[in-house]
Chain A
Amino acid sequence: MNEAFEVIVVGGGPAGISAACVLADAGIKTVVIERGESPGAKNTSGGVLYGYNLAQILPDYIKRGCPVERNIVESRIWYLSKTAGYSIGYRDSIFAAERKHNVFTVGRARFDRWFATQAKQKGCLIIPGTTVIDLLRDADGKVSGVATNRQDGEIRAKVVLLADGINSALAAKTGFRKDVHPEHVALAVKETIELDPQIIEQRFAVSSEDGVTTEVLGEMSGGMDGVAIIYTNKSSISIAVGANLAQFAKTKIKPYELLEAYKQHPMVSPLIAGGKPIEYTAHWLSEGGYDTIPQLVGDGYLITGDSAMLFNALHREGHNLAMASGKMAAEAIQEAVKAGDFTRNGLSSYVRKMQESFVMKDMKKYRRFGSFLFGTPQVFNELPQVAQFAAREMLTVDGVHKKQKQKLIMAEIRRKVGLLNIARIALRGFRAVR
């Protein structure tokens, strides 16, 4: 088509819309191209968002009717064996008061639709139902627009911002992102289970607006390098379990069976009892960490969010990295517009901003974490088994004195893992997150 834009954003998820909002606020003529029938339509994730990051883009997001499912007042961490588990949690009333909406759950389908509407109201053009199939380049090789799957479907722009998710075919087309390796990707399967809000509030002991997140490690990922979650939404509970894609392939474990087993776990099943599964989805998460991040800018383009493999595997943070990167990319574009330079050099302030921000700092901090888990299968096998044995022994009152029990436990640890190994794992784990 004839009409030209200053910026084309590919993908209407958190990264793309964050960028679009910031660009529109700066009066830059922006178009967002989304392949789903509406933004969020292709999105399967229900997840947590961080108020801080959203406020950076939309300070008045609550006033604008952001579809918050539940405000998170308690975070739990579970370490599970097949039939038992440890639980620690932290609840703080400050998260229901002064620091309300520090963390909250959203349904991505609804959130993305709402978020896109905000960008639209700011003056962005959002084109749904359209797939970008290629990048257009000018004579110098600078990206100068995109080609879509529609008739008369080329659009020109000064700069293209790629925010089309982990399956981004375009990021690969820039030539700077390598093909995604199975080891660097987790496959997560999620089920949304509908329950009456009152039942959810009872089971998690929260008020009608509040909720709980639970992050789970241990044996429920079938011995694979993986994690699971339980999030409370308004009238449903999201439960998901994910593991490294390469290990899925190796173990031949079916994702659905993994989820079913997780649902049967004695710590999980009472929470979802009587609920009705209303949605089953599967999606990829980038787990490669810092070392798989591609070159973030080139002549006429920038890469953000999941397309840039930005995901903090330990803290399950993806949305906020996406939003923060989208914002920084948009700011870099603003500078490029001022300078009239859309080359790699002109856009390079994006990389600088990223390096200075929590995004890259966190990614760097945990750069070894992925390979730590991947290379330490004991975390998902022997350790939870030993942990179960220990707790079960200590808590069973059967006349055996505690010292005797400790001996038994130590023997079990030696048999299963070995004391030296435990120390080694602990050290490597510490180093990975230091």
Chain B
Amino acid sequence: MHIVCCIKQVPDTTQVKIDPVTNTLIRAGVASITNPYDLVGVEAAIKLKEKYGGKVSVITMGIPAAKVQLRECLSLGATQAVLISDRFLAGADTLATSLTLSSAILKLHADDPVQIVICGKQAIDGDTAQVGPGIATRLGFTQLTYVSEIISLDKEKGLITVRREIEGGSQVVEAKLPVLLTVELELGAPRYASLPGLVRAIREKIETWTAKEIETPPEIVGLKGSPTSVRTIFAPPPRKGGPVFESSSGLEKAVDSLLNELFEKESLLVQEIIKVDGKVEHAKEQ
């Protein structure tokens, strides 16, 4: 059983501060972490490895500093880690990223056939949830998104059964390997690495592959291979406070003035809110 986990280095959003003047995020000085969804995926992969044998390879596309995140995965018990790093890969959008990662998985696959690929549901900095399905499509693997539980794995028959979260509920599906899973946090928090695991991760050499090594020409990866480009980045204008009604000068009057303003100045909004209930529509039909 060969499981590949794709991880991403993301800024720790809980540390991000906001510039009170420009209302933009200050990213400077914010530490990087492993995308929490991805780490849950790595934990799931290691549990599968412990139960069914085999190996877990962790890959990431990123800058050399992303080795820290790969080491974290090794400390949990991943078998090997590969960094895909090349300046030609920088500035990739989701299409170029899924191409790069799937090329790397194919290289791993050539050495030892891959049965399961696990990605986080989405990255907390981009929230796109596109890379996982993109990789599955390129590899031709069956994709099972929003997996909240791995119920069973039948190695002999090559079948995996998982629970997926879907709109308004969940479903239990059985699929034939090879599969790509994108996982929810419900799958289970990563373990706290043991001391020998941590020491091994610190000492392990992490392989680095360039674009050439995964056989992706520079024109189709990174910024050049990305159909989308950012035109502008801007901060939404900071909110400005509006009128303040003091109940100390008469509660009833204050509430009344507020509602007056609302129903006059925000009549469209008020209509819409009440329309959601269908009250206005019903009224019209009457």
Physical contact A–B (CB less than 8 Å)? yes
**Which residues of chain A come closer than 8 Å to B31, judged between CB atoms?**
37
A181 at interface, CB cutoff 8 A:
no
**Which residues of chain B come closer than 8 Å to A278, judged between CB atoms?**
29
Least CB distance from B46 to A in Å reads 14
- In the complex, the answer to whether B29 meets A150 with C-beta atoms within 8 Å is no
A206 at interface, CB cutoff 8 A:
no
**How extensive is the interface on chain B, given as a class?**
10 to 19
- Of B105-113, B130-138, B191-199, B265-273, the segment with at least 4 beta carbons within 8 Å of chain A is B191-199
- Of A121-129, A159-167, A346-354, the segment with at least 4 beta carbons within 8 Å of chain B is A121-129
Contact of A150 among B195, B202, B203 (CB under 8 A): B195
Contact of A152 among B29, B194, B202, B203 (CB under 8 A): B194
- Least CB separation from A1: chain B residue: B196
- In the complex, the answer to whether B198 meets A130 with C-beta atoms within 8 Å is yes
Contact of B202 among A3, A127, A148, A151 (CB under 8 A): A127
- Least CB separation from A41: chain B residue: B31
The docked-state distance in angstroms from the alpha carbon of A129 to that of B195 is 10
A155 at interface, CB cutoff 8 A:
yes
* Chain B, interface SS category: helix
**Which residues of chain A come closer than 8 Å to B29, judged between CB atoms?**
278
- In the complex, the answer to whether A153 meets B202 with C-beta atoms within 8 Å is no
Binary CB contact string for chain A from 116 to 150 against chain B (1 if under 8 A, 0 otherwise): 00000000011101100000000000000000101
Contact of A1 among B192, B195, B203 (CB under 8 A): B195
Contact of B195 among A37, A126, A152 (CB under 8 A): A152
**Which residues of chain B come closer than 8 Å to A37, judged between CB atoms?**
31
**Which residues of chain B come closer than 8 Å to A126, judged between CB atoms?**
202
**Among residues 35 to 58 in chain B, which have CB atoms less than 8 Å away from a CB atom of chain A?**
none
**Which residues of chain B come closer than 8 Å to A151, judged between CB atoms?**
192, 194-195
Least CB distance from A276 to B in Å reads 8
The docked-state distance in angstroms from the alpha carbon of A119 to that of B199 is 16
- In the complex, the answer to whether A1 meets B202 with C-beta atoms within 8 Å is no
- Least CB separation from B19: chain A residue: A276
- Least CB separation from A148: chain B residue: B195
- In the complex, the answer to whether A129 meets B198 with C-beta atoms within 8 Å is yes
The docked-state distance in angstroms from the alpha carbon of A221 to that of B217 is 64
Binary CB contact string for chain B from 176 to 197 against chain A (1 if under 8 A, 0 otherwise): 0000000000000000111110
The docked-state distance in angstroms from the alpha carbon of A37 to that of B29 is 15
- Least CB separation from B20: chain A residue: A276
- In the complex, the answer to whether A125 meets B198 with C-beta atoms within 8 Å is no
**Which residues of chain A come closer than 8 Å to B202, judged between CB atoms?**
125-127
- In the complex, the answer to whether A155 meets B198 with C-beta atoms within 8 Å is no
- In the complex, the answer to whether A127 meets B199 with C-beta atoms within 8 Å is yes
- Least CB separation from B28: chain A residue: A278
- Least CB separation from A150: chain B residue: B195
- Least CB separation from A38: chain B residue: B68
Q: Which of B29, B192, B199 has the most CB of A within 10 A?
A: B199
Least CB distance from B200 to A in Å reads 10
**Which residues of chain B come closer than 8 Å to A1, judged between CB atoms?**
195-196, 199
Contact of A3 among B193, B198, B199 (CB under 8 A): B199
**Among residues 187 to 237 in chain B, which have CB atoms less than 8 Å away from a CB atom of chain A?**
192-196, 198-199, 202-203
Least CB distance from B206 to A in Å reads 15
With A37-B31, A278-B29 already in contact, the answer to whether A153 and B195 are too (CB < 8 A) is yes
**Which residues of chain A come closer than 8 Å to B195, judged between CB atoms?**
1, 127, 130, 148, 150-155
The docked-state distance in angstroms from the alpha carbon of A125 to that of B195 is 13
**Which residues of chain A come closer than 8 Å to B203, judged between CB atoms?**
125
**Which residues of chain B come closer than 8 Å to A152, judged between CB atoms?**
194-196
The docked-state distance in angstroms from the alpha carbon of A125 to that of B203 is 8
**Among residues 374 to 389 in chain A, which have CB atoms less than 8 Å away from a CB atom of chain B?**
none
Contact of B194 among A2, A3, A129, A153 (CB under 8 A): A153
The docked-state distance in angstroms from the alpha carbon of A3 to that of B199 is 10
The docked-state distance in angstroms from the alpha carbon of A150 to that of B198 is 9
The docked-state distance in angstroms from the alpha carbon of A153 to that of B195 is 5
The docked-state distance in angstroms from the alpha carbon of A76 to that of B182 is 60
The docked-state distance in angstroms from the alpha carbon of A150 to that of B31 is 23
- Least CB separation from B198: chain A residue: A127
The docked-state distance in angstroms from the alpha carbon of A152 to that of B192 is 11
The docked-state distance in angstroms from the alpha carbon of A126 to that of B202 is 8
The docked-state distance in angstroms from the alpha carbon of A1 to that of B194 is 9
**Which residues of chain B come closer than 8 Å to A130, judged between CB atoms?**
195, 198
Least CB distance from B279 to A in Å reads 50
- Least CB separation from A153: chain B residue: B195
Least CB distance from B160 to A in Å reads 29
Can you identify 25 A-B contacts, CB atoms within 8 angstroms?
A1-B195, A1-B199, A3-B196, A3-B199, A37-B31, A125-B199, A125-B202, A125-B203, A127-B195, A127-B198, A127-B199, A127-B202, A148-B195, A150-B192, A150-B193, A150-B194, A150-B195, A151-B192, A151-B194, A151-B195, A152-B195, A152-B196, A153-B194, A154-B195, A278-B29
- Other than the given A125-B203, A130-B198, A154-B195, 19 more pairs (CB < 8 A) read A1-B196, A1-B199, A3-B196, A3-B199, A37-B31, A125-B199, A126-B202, A127-B198, A129-B198, A150-B193, A150-B195, A151-B192, A151-B194, A152-B194, A152-B195, A152-B196, A153-B194, A153-B195, A155-B195
Q: Which 4 A-B pairs have the closest CB atoms?
A: A151-B194, A153-B195, A150-B195, A1-B196
